Structure formats: structure tokens, C-alpha cells
Amino acid sequence: MNQKICVITGATDGVGLETARTLGKDGWTLALVARNAQKGERIATELRAECGNEDITFKQADLSLQKDVRRVAGELADSYPRIDVLINNAGAIFWKRKQTAEGFEATLALNHLNYFLLTNLLLDRLKAAPSARIVNVASRAHVGASVDFDDMDGTAVYKRCMGGWIAYQRSKLQNIMFTYALARRLEGTNVTANALHPGFVKTRFGKDNGGAFAVILNIGMRVSAISVQKGAETQTYLARSPEVEGVSGKYFSECRAVTSTKQSMDEAAQERLWAMSEDMTRGSQ
């Protein structure tokens, strides 16, 4: 198995799918992880034919549930002796507060704890690669956000006007803070970790919320959104470009490193988030 091995979450739609298409055409071995089994199997079949690449498989998991994250991580570890690239791409926005079956607020569970837990569970397989990369899809939506450590369950934020959007902003900030803290822990290893803003991309993102939010989102996408091909460029760049070999602990936009917010670079807050994330994922073992 000489070709690169890449795990992509949220890979059945949008920029995740486009990234899979690009890497699949380059002959990479791909594991596509998503919630909808029927759609996932169909996408994998279509990509195998389109890319002329039989090494594309689908793994089903509801990544908002830690039991599914642990199960799929085990399946991936059993399937691959190493993982060269992990792209944490799965995410969503919930306009109204939802709670998972495990008792976590859905935005936190899917957009942050999923990244944290899956990455840590796959670190041994990433370290088994000659040179591995972790790519965390964040967003410029983190600008203006701050983490409220006293409201990690979202009880207070969802009572505010635009609470769902604020919760989403916080989760994207958490993605970047997690990336920076992870990169510090990976210093001296063969694994790098970087985060990125894909741009405002014309996808199905947020459409399931319905109501006024979906209307506003649709208008915005028609007016100013970029194509999925353009939106996938930065994460594809981070996955395979020799220009970022050995680069770690950075935040990228339009295929270049840029500065994230002051809040995201607060190391004490990053470490507090890490410790809280450990506590929130420890109970699922």
C-alpha cells in the first residue's frame, strides 16, 4: 500500500466530497466518514468509477455521538496500518438548541468534541506514517467569538438572539484553539496539525434548519458564495502540497497562513479547552 491514505469526515457533500474527488483522482486510498449510510455507499461507488480508483471506501458514523466516533476509529485502525492525512471536515450549524443522546449540546459535540476525540484516537496510526498531516476545517466565523467555559452546554447562548450562530462561531474558534494546542503536543513528531478557513462556499450547509435562517443563507450563497471547487482548494493544499511539509500550528485561508484572532491564540484558554475536552470525552470510553 504505497499510495497515501487519507481519512475525510463529512465527505459525502460540499468541500469534503470535492476534496475526496481530487485526492481520489490522484490515486489516494480514501476512507470517507459520514452519517448517512445509503448516501455514503452511493458516493463511494460513484467516486470509484469517476476516479478509476478502487481504494475508496465508506465508513458510517454519526460523529456527534462519541460511541460512534470510537467505533469508527477502531474500524479505521483495523483497516489501515497507517494514516497519512486526517481531514476533520464534518460539521453543522443548529439554529435551535439540540442535545445528543449522550447529553451534549449538538454544536459542541459534532463541531469540536468529534475533532478532538477522533484525532486523539487515530494518533497512533498517524504517527505510523513517515510524515502525517492533520487538517482541521475551521472558519473565519471565529472572528468576534469567545469561548464561554461556564456555558459549554449552550444553555445560555441559545437564549440569545442569533444563539445558534454564536454557538457555531464558538465551535469554529474551538477548532483553531484545539489545532494550536495539538500542534504543541506534536512537536518533535512526524505529525503536523493545521486549521483552515475554506471560504463562504455554495453548499447545502445549514439548509436543514429551515425558516428565516435558511432563506438568508440561500440569498447570501447566491450573491457571494464561492464554488465547492474553490472552497476545497485550501484543505486539498494542506493535505498534499510539499510547500507545507513540516509546517504546523498555523491557520490558513486561500492557501496561505494568516493570523487568527487574539482569542484563538490565548494559550491558557487553549489548555483549559483541552482539559475540559478530555473530561467530556473520557466518560465515553
| DSSP summary character for residue 23 | H
Catalytic-labelled residue, pool 80, 115, 168, 251: 168
For residue 280 the three cell numbers come to 467530556
Active site residue 115: no
For residue 103 the three cell numbers come to 447529553
pTM over 0.75: yes
Residue range of the domain that includes 270: 5-201+229-282
Quick: pLDDT tens for 266-277: 999 999 999 999
| C-alpha neighbours within 13 Å on the C-beta side of residue 196 | 29
Is the distance from CB of 122 to CB of 71 less than 8 angstroms? no
CA distance 15 to 219: 20
Q: Residue 224 falls within a domain, yes or no?
A: no
Quick: pLDDT tens for 93-129: 999 999 999 999 999 999 999 999 999 999 999 999 9
Q: Residue 161 falls within a domain, yes or no?
A: yes
Average pLDDT over residues 166-180: 98
pLDDT at residue 168, as a whole number:
96
Mean pLDDT of the chain: 92
CA distance 11 to 218: 22
| Structural domain total, the chain | 1
pLDDT at residue 227, as a whole number:
87
CATH number where 192 lies = 3.40.50.720
Q: Residue 217 falls within a domain, yes or no?
A: no
Taking 60 as the threshold, does the pLDDT of residue 183 lie above it? Answer: yes
